[in-house]
């Protein structure tokens, strides 16, 4: 399988845990216990670092890989910041600020994904998800709808592609 599988798996797990947290599943902080968001943050941080390492490796693979590696850096930087912010309990508005260019700029990879509908649809789903993150961090969208969006993102944009690849098929 291509090295992109690490990105799909790690980032999908981070999106899943963030989604469940924002849905309120496992999000209650018990008195005297650690904040559950800290655990979510560690997974987000590791996913971001795996994305960045994967992007660095992908950059060594040739011509088209430079564009793919660059795209993965967008998500790697986002999840790294998200993880650090969640672990340290920092203000999430900076994550929201970063999510705006992470929503918009990858749309310029549209032609890179010509010949397949799934990756193009993923760009659209991510566009909506990252704008929803910004809206939530600034109080314009409640946490539960964002949680539902992130759970959907984990399933559709990360896990379905990896299952397709694991079954020996090409992503459509």
Return the higher-pLDDT residue of 65 and 98.
98
CA nearest to 58, candidates 75, 47, 70, 49: 70
Q: Where are the alpha helices (DSSP H) in the chain?
A: 4-23, 36-58, 63-88, 93-104, 117-137, 143-153, 160-166
89: left (phi over 0), alpha (psi -120 to 50) or beta: left
What's the rounded Cα separation, in Å, for the pair 11 and 93?
20
Say yes or no to pLDDT of 2 above 70: no
List pLDDT tens digits, range 45-85: 999 999 999 999 999 998 778 999 999 999 999 999 999 99
Q: Which domains can be identified in the chain, with CATH numbers? A: 4-166 (1.25.40.600)
Mean pLDDT (the chain, rounded): 95
What's the rounded Cα separation, in Å, for the pair 58 and 97?
27
What's the rounded Cα separation, in Å, for the pair 28 and 126?
27
């Amino acid at each position: 399988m291509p090295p992109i599988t690490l990105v799909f798996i790690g980032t999908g797990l981070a999106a899943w845990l963030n989604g469940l947290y924002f849905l309120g599943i496992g999000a209650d902080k018990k008195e005297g216990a650690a904040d559950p968001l800290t655990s979510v943050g560690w997974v987000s941080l590791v996913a971001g670092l795996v994305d960045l390492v994967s992007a660095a490796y992908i950059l060594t693979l040739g011509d088209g890989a430079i564009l793919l590696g660059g795209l993965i850096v967008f998500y790697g930087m986002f999840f790294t910041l998200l993880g650090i912010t969640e672990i340290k309990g920092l203000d999430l508005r900076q994550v929201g600020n970063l999510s705006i260019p992470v929503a918009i700029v990858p749309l310029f990879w549209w032609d890179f994904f010509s010949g397949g509908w799934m990756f193009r649809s993923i760009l659209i789903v991510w566009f909506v998800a990252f704008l929803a993150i910004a809206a939530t961090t600034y109080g314009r969208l409640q946490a539960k709808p964002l949680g539902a969006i992130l759970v959907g993102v984990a399933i559709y944009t990360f896990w379905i592609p990896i299952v397709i690849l694991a079954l020996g098929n090409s992503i459509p």
